[in-house]
A and B are shown apart, each in its own frame.
Chain A
Amino acid sequence: MNFNLSDDIQFLKENVRDFVQTEVEAVAHRIEKENQIPERIIEMSKDMGLFGLSIPKQYGWLGIGMIGKCALYEEVGATHNGYTTLIGAHTGIGSVGIVELGTSEQKEKYLPDLASGKKIGAFALTEPSAGSNASNLKTTAVKKGNHYVLNGTKHYITNATEADIFTVMAVTNPHKGAKGITSFIVEKDFPGFHVGAVERKMGLRGSHSAEIILEDCEVPVENVLGEEGQGYVNALKILANGRAGLAARNLGSCQKLLDLSMQYAQEREQFQVPIIEHQAVGHMISEMAVEIEALRSFTYRVACMVDEGKRVIKEAAMLKLYGSEVYNRVADKAVQIHGGMGYISDYPIERFYRDARITRIYEGTSGIQKNIITGQLKKEYS
């Protein structure tokens, strides 16, 4: 297993870093204040190709594998997490369903626009009664001629207000439980599709989570994604695929926090010396660095396995769990090192601290990841 990034990937990574650290960082405070990512930044990100990270080479995009994708996600993570989430949800769970499960017609139709960012993608699984228990969906899909008619409400849908193309899970056979769920590609312009209330959140400002209301929403049969009845399995696959990417973005945020903490601890003086000279601070920084290095190795190991075509259900769950837990511990230490300044909104640390919290909840809570890991271990040891 070789974790060294190729020259090409390294060059791509440097260019993404340059863009993110120059342009996105410059508006991070504004995003926080206005709860909106400036249109200019979104357009520049599209021009750069950041919306096409998941799209395969045959559809004209990068084809850089999971290692390449993680390398770039690291850079996308090293800034305002609202921006990170817009890109992450679009290129992750918002696109990979069609990439992994789509027919060639569906790919031809949707992938070029998803790649260029002309259309934004989102993933709609969660419902008021179906969160961690993803199989308890109430949204129904009834086949009528050439259409399925969808009815129900989804909530906490990331990118809902921006997205054009949704991967939606709905029940096609209520008697079959998890095996009665089917996934659909739903366009926002389909009749009966509405975006509902936008949630106010603790963090991730600039990234909007909203309700989706499906009211006799007509979806053509050719928009069934994968096979009928495979929706639950599909959803788990899409989520599993996204996990390495999510860890890479968390890794980027952690690295940024370490960079900021190192800079601060070397400049800030207390008792006539820079605070890094105080063992209590120095040790916190070294603990951050160790965990970040471990997360980096773990991320690229799983990415490597994905690129080798290996099954990574257990490893991806472990990585998602570890990445989000490390991010929270690192953010906590960064606040402590920065002291009062770490609590002040003019400085980015408290923002990362709030934004870190969701990573233990979305795309499968820490608890759910542990369930998956235990389940896989039980299979291995049976």
Chain B
Amino acid sequence: MNIYVLMKRTFDTEEKIVIEDGRIDEEGAEFIINPYDEYAIEEAIQLRDEHGGEITVVTIGGEDAEKQLRTALAMGADKSVLINVEDDVEESDQFTTVKILEAFFEDKEYDMILAGNVAIDQASGQIGPRLAESLDIPCVTTITNLEVDGDKAKIERDVEGDVEKIEVSTPVLVTCQQGLNEPRYPSLPGIMKAKKKPLEELELDDLDLDEDDVEPKTKTIDVFLPPEKEAGKILEGEIDDQVNELVGLLRNEAKVI
């Protein structure tokens, strides 16, 4: 089985985030594999272990993303590809990413492409479905269970607190949701072995693309942090007065009643 995983290096949203000049300051930020992509990597490993085959993890980014690729290899992926756009792409959006991936997959054979349901940084959730559309293959999002039998896949997906069961033919692109599996930690021997696994580096040129082909279709106007939580208000005085004041505040200040 030929399995591909789309992986994104993201900053850790549990760490402190600083914005400078309309961009997230990368200096102090911690970077991780997008957690939803970890589900995709884990699922790929389980599929490969059950059905045989090979896992290739693909990412778009700069040299720094090598670390996350090495982690994926240490978890158990077989090969990795870094599409290095550091020098070629200044601004990007989902169009850019899909266009690059589309070119990458043009000459590839695949049975299964797994991606995270969403990336925790920009949270568009668009890459998987848009790539599937470009490649003209079926796509199932937010999956919580996956069984492959020959050229069919039985999938369960999360739909607003309910489960939808789907049968689909391969090749298929799926996006992975929490609950699908518990991603493993890379083992220490796995980390040492990962050094010898292939890490291929490509640039736009190698995919017959130039900067204009991948120019974003959207423009980011502003990036800002959520407003800081203000201290709560403690009402004082007689209960009746407090209730009156509270109703007044809810009506006039919070405007919720």
Contacts and interface: CB of A to CB of B under 8 A. Distances in A.
Interface in B40-77: 67, 70-71, 74
Interface in A6-33: 8, 11-12, 15-16, 18-19, 23
A44 B185 CA distance: 8
Interface string B147-190: 00000000000000000000000000000000000001111111
Nearest to B194: A11
Contacts of B70: 11
B197 interface: no
B189 A49 contact: yes
A16 B188 contact: yes
B251 interface: no
Interface residues of B, number: 14
21 contacts: A8-B191, A8-B192, A11-B67, A11-B191, A12-B188, A12-B191, A12-B192, A15-B71, A15-B186, A15-B188, A15-B191, A16-B188, A18-B185, A19-B185, A23-B185, A47-B185, A47-B187, A49-B187, A50-B188, A53-B188, A61-B189
A232 B46 CA distance: 49
A47 B71 CA distance: 15
B173 to A, nearest CB: 29
A23 B70 CA distance: 22
Contacts of B71: 15
Nearest to A16: B188
Contact of B184 (A18, A47, A50): A47
Secondary structure type dominating chain B contacts? helix
B192 A62 contact: yes
Interface residues of A, number: 19
Most buried by A among B188, B191, B192: B188
Contacts of B185: 15, 18-19, 23, 44, 47-48
A100 to B, nearest CB: 21
Contacts, number: 41
Interface of A: 8, 11-12, 15-16, 18-19, 23, 44, 47-50, 52-53, 60-62, 72
A49 B188 contact: yes
Contacts of A47: 184-185, 187
Given A11-B67, A15-B191, 17 more contacts: A8-B195, A11-B191, A12-B191, A15-B74, A15-B185, A15-B186, A16-B188, A19-B185, A44-B185, A48-B187, A49-B188, A49-B189, A49-B190, A61-B189, A62-B188, A62-B189, A72-B188
Contacts of B187: 47-49
Contacts of A72: 188
Contacts of B188: 12, 15-16, 48-50, 52-53, 62, 72
Interface string B112-153: 000000000000000000000000000000000000000000
Nearest to B185: A19
Interface pairs A-B: 5 shortest CB-CB? A49-B188, A49-B187, A19-B185, A49-B189, A48-B187
Interface in B57-104: 67, 70-71, 74
Contacts of B190: 49
Contacts of B67: 11
A58 to B, nearest CB: 13
Contacts of B195: 8
Contacts of B191: 8, 11-12, 15
B189 A52 contact: yes
